[in-house]
Amino acid sequence: MRVHTTSLKGGINKSREFARKGLAEFAVNVGTKCGHDCTYCSTGATLRFHSSFKKVGESPFGTGYAIVDADTPVRVAADAAKHPRARGLVQLCTTVDAWAPEAQAHRIGRRCLEAILGQPGWTVRVLTKNAAVVEDFDVISHHRDRILVGLSLTTTPDKSELMHVVEPNASTNVERMAAMARAHQMGLRTYAMFCPLLPGIAGSPGDVEELVGFALDVGAEEIFVEPVNGRGPGLKATEEALSAAGHDQEASAVHAIRTEENWSAYAAQLPETVQRVLRRRNALPKLRFLLYPKSLKEVDLLAIRQDDAGVRWLGEARGERWPAQYTAAQRRQSRCHRATLHSVLGAFLFNRLMPALTRSLSWPHGAPARTPACCPALYGSGAATGDPSRGILATAIYFAEQDRAERGHGSRWSRLASWVNRDSTRSFLTAIASARLLPTSTTSFRPRVIPV
């Protein structure tokens, strides 16, 4: 295992996403790449633009390495002492693991717990895949009313070794269950996290029945469940790892949900299975099924909404302006957040992108000989009229199309163009040009023609 170090900003950070999930208002993360090396991990897709990967020369989707910040507890202690009136529940961690091997070497999990709990008003939700957290139960027991202990469970004991193929450096599920049982014996507060429940490994009714039974036996206050995240290359890597280990049937089941339609069907079936089990045990109020409707097909979305007890809808469905459960106040707040985001993107576009394009572009007296295929009318009219807003817009879209063809729809240019290519943004750019914040002279603003 190659272990790299980095320096992160901040210690305790607000986490709107995990607040929506009902997990925590704040988050502490101790690095950007966890050494557990789970093949299905989506953190690489989430943090792929973080500067730490480039600094250490590693791919965010690579394996065999970890990136950790050993000074995290120092910043956590400083943040914990601030704002005595604005404290709440902190999750340790949300994207990596404070008890992963590289973090254990610096005792980061224990030191973070001591830093947070040393100040009144904070509570902590521990989430890990490493049974080494047992070594810190002495700290937790001193603050038992302020800590929830959870170890992510991804399969039943009989398939623990099979799952170890895709979670090579994490504790086995048997070891994690033993740690949960130990926490319950010590009188510590616990909760369950079943994530992910992969098809062919832990998604059957029998598997869910066994996991739910265990969670209730160890006194879980809440039961969180989430389907596997399809972002990034995680499903492909999981399929390949299972196939290489000779688990062809399980590999085939994972391969099936790599299509959008099959993933949607799998994500729709899972909450129904969990609901059925919890209803039989009169424990449905404990369920927190985390689900993003945007990834679901309409038929599956409608099926779930017919009985969505315990489902926490995260975000909007396709073609849906607001999630069904949004109140008027939440809708106003969302509009405010969107307006703020557009303002930030506008500032970025003006302060970073436009000067660079202005230096490299100038306008000829007519349309360029070779017009980018993605937007010929826009580019040609911009050149003919000397309108820099249209030229910049066309150039951004041109680069986006080139980048999309090479790297897919998730790249920076592609996402930027999806925002740039809107009527509101065109008005924004035109207003800048009208205010003469950009040159409009045909002699000083000539586009560099890029062959298609």
User: In the structure, what pLDDT confidence band is assigned to residue 10 with cuts at 50, 70 and 90?
Assistant: confident
pLDDT of residue 353: 57
Helix axes 328-348, 423-434, angle to 10 degrees: 50
User: Same domain for 307 and 188?
Assistant: yes
User: Same domain for 319 and 366?
Assistant: no
User: Same domain for 104 and 178?
Assistant: no
Look at 58 and 421; give whichever has higher pLDDT. 58
| Residue 165 clears pLDDT 60, i.e. is over it | yes
User: What backbone torsions phi and psi does residue 62 show, to the nearest 5 degrees?
Assistant: -80, 175
pLDDT of residue 139: 97
| Number of other residues whose CB lies within 10 A of the CB of residue 377 | 11
> H/E/C letters for each residue in 173-206?
HHHHHHHHHHHHHCCCEEEEEECCCCCCCCCCHH
Q: Please check whether residue 392 lies inside any domain of the structure.
A: yes
pLDDT of residue 64: 95
% of the chain with per-residue pLDDT over 90: 66
With tokens 């576009």, the residue in question is 349
Give the mean pLDDT of 133-144.
96
Given a contact cutoff of 8 angstroms between Cβ atoms, the answer to whether 71 and 29 are in contact is: no
User: Same domain for 270 and 402?
Assistant: no
User: Same domain for 89 and 15?
Assistant: yes
pLDDT in tens, 21-56: 999 999 999 999 999 999 999 999 899 999 999 999
CA dist list (Å): 76 to 17, 32, 114, 117, 121: 20, 16, 10, 11, 14
User: Same domain for 405 and 423?
Assistant: yes
| Residue 102 clears pLDDT 80, i.e. is over it | yes
Domain count, the chain: 3
pLDDT in tens, 258-310: 999 999 999 999 999 999 999 999 999 999 999 999 989 999 999 999 999 99
Structural domain range at position 25:
1-128
Q: Please check whether residue 135 lies inside any domain of the structure.
A: no
Last residue within a domain, chosen from 326, 343, 377:
326
User: Same domain for 2 and 118?
Assistant: yes
User: Same domain for 295 and 353?
Assistant: no
Give the mean pLDDT of 337-343.
57
Which ranges of 6-92 would DSSP assign to H, the alpha helix?
Answer: 16-20, 43-46, 51-56, 72-80
Mean pLDDT of the chain: 81
Look at 55 and 418; give whichever has higher pLDDT. 55
User: Same domain for 47 and 191?
Assistant: no
CA dist list (Å): 338 to 76, 322, 328, 344: 30, 13, 15, 10
| Residue 387 clears pLDDT 90, i.e. is over it | no
| Residue 345 clears pLDDT 90, i.e. is over it | no
With tokens 């700290």, the residue in question is 139
Q: Please check whether residue 396 lies inside any domain of the structure.
A: yes
pLDDT of residue 60: 93
User: Same domain for 87 and 206?
Assistant: no
pLDDT of residue 251: 96
Q: Please check whether residue 423 lies inside any domain of the structure.
A: yes
pLDDT of residue 440: 40
User: Same domain for 316 and 386?
Assistant: no
Q: Please check whether residue 46 lies inside any domain of the structure.
A: yes
- The top-scoring range by mean pLDDT among 120-124, 317-321, 360-364 is 120-124
Structure tokens belonging to residue 426: 């065109």
pLDDT of residue 371: 37
pLDDT of residue 86: 84
pLDDT in tens, 191-236: 999 999 999 999 899 999 999 999 999 999 999 999 999 888 999 9
Last residue within a domain, chosen from 274, 299, 326:
326
Q: Please check whether residue 157 lies inside any domain of the structure.
A: no
Look at 427 and 158; give whichever has higher pLDDT. 158
Which of these ranges, 331-335, 337-341, 376-380, has the smallest mean pLDDT?
376-380
Which of these ranges, 235-239, 242-246, 337-341, 385-389, has the smallest mean pLDDT?
385-389
pLDDT of residue 422: 55
pLDDT of residue 84: 81
Strand 147-153, strand 189-194: pairing: parallel
Which of these ranges, 238-252, 273-287, 365-379, has the smallest mean pLDDT?
365-379
Q: Please check whether residue 358 lies inside any domain of the structure.
A: yes
Q: Please check whether residue 361 lies inside any domain of the structure.
A: yes
Look at 404 and 132; give whichever has higher pLDDT. 132
